Structure 1
Amino acid sequence: MAPDPVVVCLGEALIDRLGPPGGDPAVDVPVDDRLGGAPANVACGLARLGTRVAFVGRLGRDAIGDAFTDLFLERGVNLSLLQRDDQRPSRIVLVRRSMDGEREFQGFAGDQGLGFADQALAPVRLPQADWLLVGTLPLAASVSGAALLSAVEQAQQQGLALALDVNWRPTFWDPSADPAAGPSKQALEAMQPLLLQAALLKLAREEALGLFGTADPTAIQRMLPQSPDVVVTDGAAPVRWHIGTEHGVQPALKPPTVVDTTGAGDAFTAGLLHRWSAPPMERLRFAAACGALVCGGAGGIDPQPGEAQAERLMRIAD
């Protein structure tokens, strides 16, 4: 039997359909389809770094699902809890890219009338692990939301620490929503059980402002009764963090080139969890290196670094 994972990543695995820089991925060509989805990205990033990891998600019985299965097996991700759906397809997300590599999620493709496979995620029995890593997107559908909350409850009972990467994407909750819109009252209420249990809370600056009215990680930590570790990212700007009793600022590390920023935050999260036993400043610097290196290639998975690559960038930046 395979050893128990250190981290269980639960949530969506999907295709990021990257439009041509400055173009519309719904109509302009060429598009670049990349395997993605935040929990899947983190799982693959952890596996490449050498952390034992399991993925919990639901994919269509289609070419996308097959491609993910092959990728996970190649990376060494535990797939004992992966589900396949005979009726619903794997999700395709349309990603608009600016000329400087920044991206915006604008909608979906592939729905045949029954929704997407990730929306039908069924409850699972979690294995023993140190961490359960989740985002908020499964909460946007009732079935997958129930499966997520079941896993969060199990984590509390079994002693798994909950790592929450908010990953707010309004179009998952309402396909017609403005991609820049903040969380609705309904979404905020749905997120509360996760926010109140998280041992590690990772937010982008705009998510922190939308949820807490501040991007100060110390202030956010004080707002939650469990006083979680809080990390706030801000694109190429410095990361602000409060872990335990320590707090500080981690400047972004500069990659050799920037092709596409998709998945940078997920690589950062993978690096953070991989180095969790290190002192906080080392954790954040290693995570920053992982996030930077992903920007040098297309998509959120293919350019993910190994441990040696991340350490090399850390040395260069010294």
Structure 2
Amino acid sequence: MIVVAGEALIDLVPRPAADPAGAPGGGAVGPLPPLLPRLGGGPYNTAVALGRLGTPTAFCSRVSTDGFGTALLDGLRSARVDTSLVQRGPEPTTLAVASVGSDGSAGYGFYAQGTADRLFELPAQLPPSARALALGTCSLVLEPGASAYEALLRREADHGVFTLLDPNIRPPVIPDADAYRARFARWLPYVSLLKLSEEDARWLGGVPRGPAAVVLTRGGEGLTVRTRAGAEFAVPAAPVDVVDTIGAGDTVNAALLHRLAALDALSERALDALDEERWRDILGFAARAAAVTCSRTGAEPPYEDELS
């Protein structure tokens, strides 16, 4: 089983230029387009994508008891994701308002003050079947939950669990950039596989060393992996008509873990042993999965049969 830990939230996504009935402007009134609520959050999307790919997955978070929270849990269950590690609370669900550029790239504004996922508490233990732990995004920034997620990362890494970290940098929610960069550096000894976007790497000041491998997503240019031994392999992006990029990086996380699990490579020793052919296979699968997500509005990762 792969455990994904972190926030679940609602993305408010601008309706495309034409609504399903073909009405110009999507029914917009005035200068602002209507916003469509979508289930989201980087870790949430990763868990759903893993479930859709057929990998046994559990989600570890704190989710509101409001209507949005109920919908988020329903989305996990429909993807066959185990929700037994989900904590519940009466606080509201975090909202992320997305803006989509002409090239499909997405930016976000967050409404996270006093929301349920910020009050996550360290679980006593993960299931004995847990082979890997994935974390990232806002959950490792917003206190007091961030410290609990960090403690989970350190504890499970010390227990020999394979770890994937996707910081998925969101500058608007980081109050002190230098303090975050210093904290990020302290996480690296506990990380097996690091996934960064080019934007993340620039914000952090470069691609760091430490993990067994670092996967860099480069938008339309594809994906690159840099191994601890100094090897570097790249694959091109899969061609696609981009609707938006929401959830694409989260889909990459899931696809990497899914393919590594299929190759029985969820350990640092196994990552060190992967050759160029294996890495190109893993990265190519992730590129195809992300392309499917980019072809849809919002974070809608593919099912396993769509990648056959």
Q: Which of the five TM-score ranges fits, normalised by the shorter chain?
A: 0.7 to 0.9
Contact 1:45–1:270 under 8 Å retained in 2: yes
Q: Distance in 1 between matches of 2:139 and 2:99?
A: 22
Q: Distance in 1 between matches of 2:284 and 2:16?
A: 30
Q: Which residue of 2 aligns with 1:46?
A: 50
For structure 2, which runs of at least 5 residues remain unmatched after alignment?
18-24, 264-277
Give the counterpart of 1:98 among 88, 97, 101: 101
Q: Deviation string for 1:120-146 (max 9, x for gaps)?
A: 111112223111100142232232112
Q: Which residue of 1 aligns with 2:267?
A: none
TM-score, with length taken from structure 1: 0.82
Q: 1:192 to 1:244 in 2, by over 3 A?
A: closer
Contact 1:94–1:105 under 8 Å retained in 2: yes
Q: Distance in 1 between matches of 2:254 and 2:242?
A: 20
Q: Distance in 1 between matches of 2:16 and 2:305?
A: 31
Q: Which residue of 1 aligns with 2:275?
A: none
The amino acid of 2:184's aligned partner reads M
Question: SS at 2:190's partner residue?
Answer: coil
Contact 1:18–1:34 under 8 Å retained in 2: yes
Q: Which residue of 2 aligns with 1:126?
A: 126
State the identity %: 33
Count of paired positions: 279
Kindly report the root-mean-square deviation, in angstroms, between the aligned alpha carbons of the 2 structures.
2.1
Question: SS at 1:142's partner residue?
Answer: coil
For structure 1, which runs of at least 5 residues remain unmatched after alignment?
175-182, 312-318
The amino acid of 1:12's aligned partner reads E
Aligned positions of 1:6-21 closer than 5 A: 7-20=2-15
Q: Distance in 1 between matches of 2:35 and 2:150?
A: 35
Q: Which residue of 1 aligns with 2:110?
A: 107
271-280 vs 31-40, greater mean Cα deviation: 271-280
1:214: how far off?
3.2
Q: Which residue of 2 aligns with 1:146?
A: 147
Q: Distance in 1 between matches of 2:288 and 2:222?
A: 12
1:90: how far off?
0.6
Contact 1:200–1:230 under 8 Å retained in 2: yes
Q: Distance in 2 between matches of 1:165 and 1:238?
A: 17
Q: Deviation string for 1:96-128 (max 9, x for gaps)?
A: 1123321111332xx6xx611111111112223
Q: Which residue of 2 aligns with 1:201?
A: 194
The amino acid of 1:306's aligned partner reads Y
Q: Distance in 2 between matches of 1:247 and 1:76?
A: 35
Q: Distance in 2 between matches of 1:281 and 1:100?
A: 26
Contact 2:42–2:137 under 8 Å retained in 1: no
Q: Which residue of 2 aligns with 1:262?
A: 246
Q: Which residue of 2 aligns with 1:315?
A: none
1:244: how far off?
5.8
The amino acid of 1:126's aligned partner reads L
Q: Which residue of 1 aligns with 2:273?
A: none
Q: Distance in 1 between matches of 2:139 and 2:301?
A: 24
- Confirm or deny that 1:230 pairs with 2:231: no
Contact 2:131–2:161 under 8 Å retained in 1: yes
1:20: how far off?
4.3
96-105 vs 282-291, greater mean Cα deviation: 96-105
1:287: how far off?
0.6
